[in-house]
Structure 1
Amino acid sequence: MELMFDTGNIEKIEYYSQVFPIAGVTTNPSILKKEGKVEIWEHFRQIQKIIGEKTFLHVQVTTGTKEEIIKEAYKIVEELGYETYVKIPTTIEGLQAVKVLKKENFKITATAIYTMAQGDFAIMAGADYIAPYFNRMENINIEPERVIKHYAHLIKANNKETKILAASFKNMGQVMSAYEWGAHCTTVDPDLLADALKMPSIEEAVINFKSDWESSFGKGVSLLDV
């Protein structure tokens, strides 16, 4: 069971990585657009510095043909190291590139997955992660439950090492459902994760605990004082 941040925002990553136990950070061109026209390789290196050597960055290619994707993959690892996961959209050209790059031991995340067939092909091609888009599936009347359960069964039945990295969430209910249905990992905007810890009932419970303690031991007294 893994959790990743789906953001390119340095401040969010720096702050929330101290809160949540993450296995990685995922980015794509749409996410990076929110950060403005940054010096992109330095931006990625800043993220790597924050998350450390054992937490991995997933960087998406920006081109569409097999040859261009492969060239960009080499550029990504040249700049950021071979532990970086190359995100490749699961298209005809993308799958061709995945097959070539896996023979060269690249770490691959197959992304932009909406259908069962896309994920099946990516698993067969040897992708390390497949990223089905949960909320976007729901928006076009594709059942994410059916798709994720299908992948989980296929991976287990065929002893594949591919992990399901569910993405595209609008609420924490969707995130929890993805795990329940068999996703090995989710990638989520850290602001959404933080909202799960800010329920009024949680805050009320903490206030009540403090009040009960102070009624017995005195205001401002902690375990350090007794």
Structure 2
Amino acid sequence: MKFFIDTANLSEIQAAYDLGVLDGVTTNPSLMAKEGIAGEENVMAHYKAICDIVDDKVSAEVIATDFEGMVREGEELAAIDPKIVVKIPMTKEGIKAVKYFSSKGIRTNCTLIFSVGQALLAAKAGATYISPFLGRLDDISASGVGLIQEIKQVFDNYDFGTEILCASIRHTMHLVECAKLGADVATCPLSVIVGLSNHPLTDSGLAKFLADHASANNAPVGA
């Protein structure tokens, strides 16, 4: 499974990259706004700064909702750096844009997926990634993980090249469940990636090792 970090914060991206497990980055207009990035020139420069940190696969989202606008913005984003993946919303116009970019060899991430039908359309159009939103489905008492399972079954039936990128991941078990189902990518906050390393038995086991070492060597614990 590939690990992407879902943020526009450069420090968090650098921290995830330094862990040695980061495969990419996803962003959206809300994450950009959270970092106070506004204005086309500043947004473009920020995307370039992200690309300079990571090895590949930086999802940059279009703002336009019409086909022509998506194509124009997507081509501008793709020109920033070869690492850019153009992020397109799941709409009728968005599907047309995904098909256009696919024909041009430009990678796409079709976002805001909430049904198997939407995932199927995006895959048929040639999306590089589709982004089903687990957490937002859970918020309305639907099963986000269940959607991943259904999409995986359909994609396996037809051997689509489109990768399932699990988004709106809220906690480590979301990520683990997606991995068990064979999803290709998980994008999540830094806290979820780091959270995978945590276990109380690891903490207590390490504390015991250190205490035994200190006792055997007549040294203070932690010395």
Q: TM-score, normalised by structure 2?
A: 0.90
Aligned to 2:47: 44
How far, CA to CA, are the matches of 1:66 and 1:98 in structure 2? Answer: 10
Unaligned residue ranges in structure 2 (runs of 5+): none
Q: SS where residue 21 of structure 1 aligns? A: coil
Alignment check: 8 A CA contact 1:175 1:186 kept? yes
Aligned pair in 2 of structure 1 residues 209, 32: CA closer, same or farther (>3 Å)? same
Map Cα deviations across residues 102-148 of structure 1 (whole Å, 9 max, x no partner).
Answer: 11111011100111111110011111111000011112233223321
Kindly provide the CA deviation profile for residues 202-224 of structure 1, in whole angstroms up to 9, marking residues without a partner as x. 333222221222333453899xx
Conservation of the 8 A alpha-carbon contact between 1:128 and 1:162: yes
Report the equivalent of 2:183: 183
| Unmatched segments (≥5 aa) in structure 1 | none
Taking the aligned partners of 2:81 and 2:113, their CA distance within structure 1 comes to 25
Matched, 1:61 2:62: yes
**SS of corresponding position for 1:210:** helix
Range with bigger deviation, 159-168 or 33-42: 33-42
Partner of 1:26: 26
Report the alpha carbon displacement of residue 165 of structure 1 after superposing the two structures with TM.
Answer: 0.3
3-state SS of paired residue (1:126)? coil
Q: Distance in 2 between matches of 1:99 and 1:186?
A: 24
Q: Which residue is 2:87 aligned to?
A: 87
Alignment of 1:1-226 (within 5 A): 1-37=1-37, 39-52=42-55, 55-81=56-82, 83-219=83-219
Number of residue pairs the alignment of both structures matches? 219
CA root-mean-square deviation: 2.0
Percent of pairs with identical residues? 26
Structure 2 SS opposite 1:79: coil
Partners of 1:78 and 1:198 lie apart in 2 by 40
Residues 218 and 18 of structure 1, relative CA distance in 2, 3 Å threshold: farther
Partner Cα distance (2:130, 2:137) in 1: 14
Normalised to the residue count of structure 1, the TM-score between the two structures is 0.89
8 Å CA contact retained: 2:51, 2:84 = no
